[in-house]
Structure 1
C-alpha cells in the first residue's frame, strides 16, 4: 500500500468513517510495516498514528493480556517478530519465531476444507450403532430402562426411566461407547447427569447403567467434564475417569483431559472443584489438583508408567486449555507440530513435514468455525509455507 493511501486510511480511521474492508486493509498494512522493522524517517513520522491504530484495533483489544498497552511500537517490534490477524475469521493470531524471518510471501489459495461439526458414533451395550449426526432432533431411542434423546443443541441425553435398585451383576451388562471422528465433536449427558464434551478423534466409554458403588468411565483423546453429584442414601458415589496410565477421582467438579495418543503427555486440568490423580499401580505418587492447576504425565514406551514416572503439576491458563469446548483454537507458546496436529484432527487432513522442523512458537486464538484456507493463510503470512496434495498438507518451510 502506498504511503498516501495509508495516510488517507488513517485520516478516515480518526474520523470513524472506515469501512470493514478498509479497516482490514489498514490492519494488514500496519502489521506488515511492523514486521519489516523499517526504522526510516518516514516510518518514524507515521509511528504516532500507527500506535494510535494499534491501541484501538480489535487485534489489540483481544491481545491486551499478551502485550502491555504501554509498550511502544519500536520496542514491540523487537520483542515480537510478527503479529498476524484476519478480520473475517473473527479472532486474532500472535505469532513468534525464535529466528528472524523475512516478510512472508502469499502462497496461492489452497483447496478449501470446512471446519468440523457435531458428528459422532454411539455404540450401545447391545452392539447396535447410531450415527448421531443422522439422528433427528427430538428422536427418542428406548433401550431397557434408558431412553436416549437428541436435543435441539445437538447434545444426546441418557434418561433413566424408573430405574430400580440394580445389583452388581445387572450393572455389568455392558458399556456404551461414544466416539468422534476427525472433524467431529459432540456433547453427551450421562445417566447420572454428568455432562461431557468430546473433542475430535476422542472416545468415551461408560456403563449402560452406573452401579451404586462407583461411576467409572474411560477416555481417549480430549474431553471436558462437568460431573454431577450422586449419592446412595448418605454415601457419595465417586466418579472416576481412566485416561491412559492414570485414574482421576472426582469430587463434583469441572475438568479437562487431553490424552491423545499422538501427544507426548497426558494433561489433566482442573477448572473447578477438586480431583485426585493416581498412577496405575503407584498410589503413593498421586496428586490432588486445585483449580487452575494442570497435571502432566509424560508418556513412555510402556503401557504402564515406569517407577520413575512423575506427575508434574503447574499453573496454567484454564481458559486457553478449554477454548476448544468454547469454539476456539487457543495457543500459548505452542510449537508448530503441536498446532498442526490440532488442525489435522479438526479438519480431517493429514500433515507432513518436509525438511527440518523450525522452532516456531504461536500465541493467540482463532475461531474453530473458520475454513482451513483462512487458517493456512494466517500461517503463511507469518512465514510458514505449505503445499497441498489432496487431503495432505505438506509443510515446506
Structure 2
C-alpha cells in the first residue's frame, strides 16, 4: 500500500484490536517518528478515545455534521496552503508537508468514520436514495481481452490479472487464458492485443518484458504479445498505473513508451500513473519513482523531464509540471477514493466510472473543492453517506434500467 493508506489501515486495526505483532510493531515505529503521531496514537487507542476525539472535534468545529466537516476540510486546506507559501522556511515546510498527508487522512477517518460507526445516539434517516444506492455494488475484477483476429475473451472475475508470455496468456495463478498462435521455429509471431475494462472494472497485466500495469475503470491498453526492436510501445486510453521494468540491451536501455491522446511518455524503468480519459480535456502523468519524459504530440515542443513527486498536465500543445502528493493520484490502485481539494465534478466522474452510473445535476453546483478518503469496496450508499458529510446532496433514479445519480446543487 501507499504510505497514507497503510497508516490508516494500521490505525483502524489498532482500534479494533485486529493487528498482529508485526503490524503493531510497524504502527509503534510510526508513532515514535514524531510527537504528533505519538499523541494521535495514544488518543485513539480505544472506542472511548474515539468518542473523546469526537467531543474535541465537536468543541472546535461544532455539532452540525455537514458544516463542521466542511470547516475541518477548509482548515486542512488552509494549513497546506500556508505551509506551501512559507518558501523562506523550507526545512519547516518540508517537515510539515511530510505529516500533513497522514494528519489529513487520519482526521478524515475520525470525522467520517466516527459519524458513520459511532454516532449511534443520532438516529439515521433512511431515504429512497439510500435504498436505491445500497443495491449498487462497487466495481471489481472485470475486463475483456481482444485478440488480433478480433475474438474477444471475457476474463474471469475470480482473477485479478493476466500474464503475457511468448505464445501464451495465463492468469496470475498459472491457469491458461489462451494460446496466441502457432509457433514458428519455436517462437510465435508478435501480434497486437487489447485489454479493456468497463465501467466498474479493474484488472492488471504483466507484459512480456515483466513490466506490470494496473487498469482503472473504463480503460483500454493496447500492447504487443512480444516486444521486438529497440523500443517497447503501448497505447492507453483511460487510466493506468505502470511499474516498468528496466531492460538492458547491447545498445543500452530499451525505452518504454506510453502513447495517449495528445502525449507520449518515455521511460526506462520507473513507476507512474497516467489518467487520459477521452471525455477529459487534460492528460495527467504522475511520477512515483524514477524519471520520465513527457512530450506533447501536438506542435513541436521539446520533451519535459519529470522528477518523483511531480505531475505533468498536458492540454493541447502545452504541458505544465507541478509538485503533488503522488498518493492522491495512485490511491485507486490500493482500493481508495482520495479526493483532496478535488473539483466536485471530477470526483463525481470517478464515482460514475466505478459504479457505472449516469450523472445529472440539478441547480448550481458549489465551487468548493472536495476532501474525502473512502474505500472503493463499499456499496454506493456508504460512499454517498460519507460525501454528504461534505454538504453534498443526492437523489437516485433509474433510466432505461441504468442507475442515475442526481447531484443536487443550490436552487
Q: TM-score, normalised by structure 2?
A: 0.67
Note if contact 1:137-1:154 (Cα within 8 Å) is conserved in structure 2: no
The match for 1:311 is 319
Q: Is this contact kept in 1: 2:137–2:355, CA < 8 A?
A: yes
Q: Which residue of 1 aligns with 2:311?
A: 294
Deviation at 1:376, TM superposition (A): 0.5
Summarize the alignment of residues 222-233 of structure 1 with structure 2, pairs less than 5 Å apart: 222-233=239-250
**2:9: which partner in 1?**
none
Distance 1:89 1:153, change over 3 A: farther
1:262 CA drift (Å): 2.5
Pair 1:195 & 2:203 matched:
no
- Give the Å deviation of 1:263: 2.4
Find the counterpart in structure 2 of residue 258 from structure 1. Answer: 275
Distance 2:285 2:211 in 1: 18
Question: Shift of residue 67 of structure 1?
Answer: 8.9
Q: Deviations over 1:251-298 (max 9, x none)?
A: 211111011122231000111111111111545332011111110012
Q: What does residue 407 of structure 2 align with?
A: 395
More helix per residue: 1 or 2?
Answer: 2
Look up the SS of the partner of 1:242 in the other structure: strand
State the SS of the aligned residue for 2:156. helix
Give the aligned partner of residue 375 of structure 2: 367
TM-score, length-scaled by structure 1: 0.69
Q: Which is worse superposed, 258-267 or 182-191?
A: 258-267
Task: Indicate the SS of the match to 1:86.
Answer: helix
Rounded to whole Å, the distance in 1 between the matches of 2:187 and 2:312 is 35
Is 1:132 the counterpart of 2:155 in the alignment? yes
2:389 to 359, 362, 381: 381
3-state SS, counterpart of residue 209 of structure 2: coil
- Greater RCO (CA < 8 Å, at least 6 residues apart): 1
Cα separation, 1, equivalents of 2:378 and 2:268: 37
Write the distance in 2 (CA, Å) between the matches of 1:388 and 1:260: 25
SS at match of 1:379: helix
- Select between 276-285 and 259-268 the one with higher mean Cα deviation: 276-285
Report the Cα offset of residue 339 of structure 1: 0.7
Question: Matches of 1:270 and 1:138 in 2, distance apart?
Answer: 23
Specify the SS of the correspondent of 2:328: helix
Unaligned runs of at least 5 residues, structure 2:
1-41, 65-97, 118-123
Deviation at 1:116, TM superposition (A): 1.0
Aligned to 2:301: 284
* Residue segments in structure 1 that go unaligned for 5+ positions in a row: 1-14, 39-62, 70-75, 91-104, 299-304
- Counterpart residue number, 2:170: 149
Partner residue of 1:85?
112
2:338 is the counterpart of 1:330: yes
Q: Deviations over 1:132-157 (max 9, x none)?
A: 12577999999xx5111112499989
